[in-house]
Amino acid sequence: MQEWHLLQHNWGWVIMLKVESIHYGIVIDHITQGKGKKIFDKLNLGEADFPVVLLRNVVSSKFGKKDIIKIENRIDIDMTMLGLIDPNVTINIVEDEKTIKKMKVEIPKEVQGLFKCKNPRCISNAEDNINPLFTLVKANGTIEYSCEYCEELTSYTL
Amino acid sequence: MNLKGRHLIDPGDFSLLELESIFRLAEKIIENKDEYSQICKEKILGTLFYEPSTRTRLSFETAMLRMGGKVLGFSDANVSSAAKGENIADTIRVLSAYADVVVIRHPKEGAPRLASKYSNIPVINGGDGGHQHPTQTLTDLLTIKRLKGSISGNTVGFCGDLKFGRTVHSLIKTLSRYPDNKFILVSPEELRLPDHLRHMLKNVAQVEIIETEDLETVIGSLDILYMTRIQKERFFNEADYVRLKDSYILTRNKLSEAKEDMLVMHPLPRVNEISYDVDEDDRAAYFKQAEFGVYARMALIAAQLGVGNNA
């Protein structure tokens, strides 16, 4: 099956792009326009050996324009950090070309590997190969995580 | 309570009942030192001091020697393999094979937590940067218990460097777990308690905190005054240290406004924040505090090694 996506060019032209719909995999939809590349990079999809496509500036009735990522043949990708990059995202799990599960993302309670501890006196910034676990302590207004080693709060801006 | 094999990295690692069991053992040791003089025979305490220390290191060494044990380690990172670039994980893995319990002091915050992940023997945090100092807390609580009668129901003033003062961080975190304690935090704006601790005290422990820059106006309401040194070694900028170092100096004259039974505590070393004339005042508790530190550490080591219960 094929899907057609409307793409709006900077100069105002609207063009149609033909993309194969996926048989089995993940569609990350409703990505805020411009954040698709960041998610693509954070999920390390540039290194993937399975089919993956990033669609940017797709016309959306709800958001005006949005980005979409389609991942074929894999559903076991850890996407917990997506809530920190873009809380608007919807994750669709597809099997036999049908969406069998639709999930909204949340701000993760724990994160690892997404950012470093801001405390220059923290051991995690002094020795190699230390990847601290951060635990969410505040999600109202600013999002703040506590480092498992020094407990300093590191703010994360969406 | 079974504390055998347990790490002490953060004062929250032990429940209040477990802390109480350590104080009970410490008090038994104080009352009957001879009975405990050989309980650590054949046991070795490893001391990894990556940062200068006098009191804490000597207190730990004395504690182990007074129980018949032995001590090995270093007190200067420059004479250890750390100077060759060895990481903490490797050092602790090796020391696990040599000693039965290890105390680590490190300038980097969280280093003892990292060590505990790779250790097969109990790890004690002997102070990590400006973060925590849980065995000083055992010392402080034992002092309060013995000299004040109760660890609960006190108005405690913390004065000086509350930002980098790790003894303050550990003690206030622990005192907030006991009922009916109130806290008055006296510091310059730049040296206020770190946000993560203020957040914990207000939102998790839900205790009453008053923050002020003026010691004189609050000293009369305190049951305990915990003085601290401005931590020169934590400043990145010498000029900031010089500007703040004389912020608070407790004199005998200022004590005239304090309660008759208020305790003046200090983790030591002091620089100039407590005048020498205060030493003669009955309220000065800091040298007794240093003495109690040995007993608190004896009880901790014995509990972690699982010895001394029947002494």
pLDDT for the residue B206:
93
Whether residue B195 and residue A153 make contact (CB cut-off 8 A), yes or no, is yes
Q: How far apart are CA B190 and CA B210, in angstroms?
A: 16
Residue pair B114/B45 in contact (Cβ under 8 Å)? The answer is: no
B199–chain A nearest CA distance, Å:
9
pLDDT for the residue B245:
75
pLDDT for the residue A42:
86
Confidence of residue B239 (pLDDT cuts 50, 70, 90): confident
Active-site option among B55, B198, B254, B259: B55
Whether residue B199 and residue A153 make contact (CB cut-off 8 A), yes or no, is yes
Between B29 and B229, the more confident residue is B29
B113–chain A nearest CA distance, Å:
6
pLDDT for the residue B271:
87
Q: What is the pLDDT of residues B13-57, one digit of tens each?
A: 999 999 999 999 999 999 999 999 999 999 999 999 999 888 899
Q: How far apart are CA B10 and CA B281, in angstroms?
A: 33
Residue type, B248: Y
Strand-strand pairing, A143-147 and A52-60: unpaired
Sheet of strand B155-159: strand arrangement: B209-212, B182-186, B155-159, B224-227, B263-265
Whether residue B113 and residue A148 make contact (CB cut-off 8 A), yes or no, is yes
B274–chain A nearest CA distance, Å:
28
Report whether pLDDT(B82) > 80: no
pTM flag (> 0.90): no
B107–chain A nearest CA distance, Å:
8
Confidence of residue A14 (pLDDT cuts 50, 70, 90): low
Between B233 and B149, the more confident residue is B149
Which residues of A fall within a CB distance of 8 Å from B111? Answer: 123, 149
Average pLDDT over residues B48-70: 94
User: B198 touching A, CB under 8 A?
Assistant: no
Which chain A residue's Cα is nearest to B110?
A: A149
Residue B105 known to be catalytic: yes
pLDDT for the residue A55:
93
Between B41 and A157, the more confident residue is B41
Average pLDDT over residues A77-99: 89
Whether residue B108 and residue A128 make contact (CB cut-off 8 A), yes or no, is no
Which residues of A fall within a CB distance of 8 Å from B108? Answer: 121-123, 126-127
Report whether pLDDT(A94) > 80: yes
pLDDT for the residue B247:
74
pLDDT for the residue A80:
81
Report whether pLDDT(B85) > 80: no
CA dihedral angle for residue B93, residue B99, residue B103, residue B105, rounded to 10 degrees: -50
Average pLDDT over residues B217-236: 87
Residue pair A74/A23 in contact (Cβ under 8 Å)? The answer is: no
Between A114 and B217, the more confident residue is B217
Residue B84 known to be catalytic: yes
Q: What is the mean pLDDT of chain A?
A: 86
Q: What is the pLDDT of residues B143-155, one digit of tens each?
A: 999 999 999 999 9
Q: What is the pLDDT of residues A15-52, one digit of tens each?
A: 666 666 789 999 999 999 999 999 999 888 999 999 99
Average pLDDT over residues B196-220: 93
Report whether pLDDT(B277) > 60: yes
Active-site option among B133, B173, B266, B283: B133
Q: What is the mean pLDDT of chain B?
A: 93
Q: Which of B107, B114, B194 shows the shortest C-beta gap to A149?
A: B114
Q: How far apart are CA B173 and CA A99, in angstroms?
A: 49
Residue B55 known to be catalytic: yes
Instruction: Give the percent of chain B with pLDDT over 90.
Output: 80
User: B196 touching A, CB under 8 A?
Assistant: yes
Instruction: Give the percent of chain B with pLDDT over 70.
Output: 95
Active-site option among B7, B43, B47, B56: B56
| Lowest mean pLDDT, pick from A83-92, B4-13, B16-25, B299-308 | A83-92
User: B199 touching A, CB under 8 A?
Assistant: yes
Report whether pLDDT(A1) > 90: no
Which chain B residue's Cα is nearest to A146?
A: B196
The contact set of A with B (CB < 8 A) is 119, 121-124, 126-130, 132, 137-138, 146-153
Whether residue A146 and residue B196 make contact (CB cut-off 8 A), yes or no, is yes
Nearest CA among B132, B138, B68, B58 for reference residue B100: B68
Residue B169 known to be catalytic: no
A157–chain B nearest CA distance, Å:
18
Provide the CA A20 distance to its chain's centre, in angstroms.
Answer: 21
